[in-house]
Amino acid sequence: MKKYLAEFLGTFTLVLLACGTASVLGCATDNPDAAYFMTALAFGLVIVAMAYSIGQVSGCHINPAVSLGVLLSGKMSVKDFIGYVIAQFLGATAGTGVLALILGSTQSLGQNGLYEGSIVKSLAVEVILTFIFVLVILSVTSRKEYSKPAGLVIGFTLTLVHIFGIHFTGTSVNPARSFGPAIFVGGEALSSVWVFIVAPLVGGALAALVYKFLVKKDAEAN
């Protein structure tokens, strides 16, 4: 239960602070201003903070796509995977609820949106970005000598992914992070949320397959 609680708290914090930054600063996907880059940085900084606080408890997945990648790479049980995902979705929902309460509005909560109204383009962007993100996580956590800087590497990678991806979809790479805001905002955010659940899971699964083929045996040998 400690692991599940850690995942709940981590995802809660991610949504509250990172999506909250996007909401408070008015981050716009078509305007790469200071708010755009501060939002990208906020997502990365939350990951760094959580990695060095709850990482020793749960591994700091705080993302169902990451948990799926870890599961498929043989690093966690199905039971823990289910527990992690439930905790992550509950944490994201609770984080969004608190954010909506603080802001006094449900109009802008860092929700994702389709790029140019295209499901195909949005799926492609999210699959690719999640693939990169999860592959980095699986690789950097596979060697003991990388354990100390791992949180920084993962946080900077998420920042980079957001710098590129916010323009297109607002950047999800995390089904729970997208689900929470979508159910509060409703409308188009809710009707298209399946894209931001399916695409990251596909990207995470592909990352696990590539990791097992390219990296895992070499990491274990060392």
Query: pLDDT of 78-137, one tens digit each?
Result: 999 999 999 999 999 999 999 999 999 999 999 999 999 999 999 999 999 999 999 999
The reported pLDDT for the residue numbered 204 is 98
Angle 54-58-61 from CA coordinates, rounded to 5°: 90
C-beta of residue 161 within 8 angstroms of C-beta of residue 129: yes
Q: What b-and-e string marks burial along 181-193, b requiring 16 or more CB atoms within 10 Å of the CB?
A: bbbbbeeebeebb
Number of H helices, E strands in the chain: 12, 0
Structure tokens at 106: 């449900």
Q: State mean pLDDT over 143-158.
A: 88
8 A C-beta contact, residue 101 and residue 177: no
pLDDT in tens, 173-210: 999 999 999 999 999 999 999 999 999 999 999 999 99
Averaged pLDDT for residues 35-48: 96
pLDDT at 217: 64
Mean of all residue pLDDT scores within the chain: 94
pTM: 0.94
The domains of the chain are located at: 2-221
CA distance 112 to 136: 23
For residue 144, the model assigns a pLDDT of 78
Q: Does domain 2-221 have CATH number 1.20.1080.10?
A: yes
Residue 35 has pLDDT above 70, yes or no: yes
| pLDDT for the residue numbered 220 | 55
Instruction: Name every residue whose Cβ is closer than 8 Å to that of residue 137 and which is 6 or more positions away in sequence.
Output: 66, 69, 154, 157
